[in-house]
Structure 1
């Protein structure tokens, strides 16, 4: 009996998980919470488990009306360091649906200069506008 993966070229009893359904359900869950750019990070795609999970990811996105983006797939990720690198690479990708906030700041700055302003506006302390953590009670 084989567990987790069906053997290739051998007829045998196997116990396998619902990899495709699980990935599909995970994508549907993320979509139900408003996520639309969902990446896939997995091991070697030639493995049956990974191929099934990747197909579940694709079908989950398509069922939600989202076209799978090959740029959001990272395979051959088999250890922590590779996972860390893959996630960092994915986070560095630009989201084509949004303009970069850095780029938008530049647009605002150029428009202010055209109007005669030569300094950044004073907005006060960043911590007073955007708290970095929620209030905590003292013990």
Structure 2
């Protein structure tokens, strides 16, 4: 158990330090204050924090792309951004601990609408007949000239 507690403390300190180094100049009001510990689905330890403050979404995306954390241990994974119902999550694995930073998904998702069948155009926007009908008319004209 002491190794697990040390891994959690080290991972949290590293994540917090990296967060503030990555966002302090561009998004100083985006904060990660309320860390929670738990267990991931695979039984490994997990740290979770909600990114709060002004520009939380932009700060999280910037952090995920800049990612100043070092991945020195076997099994460490680079961050990925996942879209879950109602949340955008940046998740990675460091020192045997899963870390999730997230914010509420603020993008408006349009309600689904039924698909409409496209209407067949009788003529093109220029007023010309579609190619198939024009070729038929041209062929008729040449056939009339040959008679």
> TM-score, normalized by length of structure 2?
0.22
More helix by share: 1
> TM-score, normalized by length of structure 1?
0.23
Q: Based on CA coordinates, which of the two structures has the bigger radius of gyration? A: 2
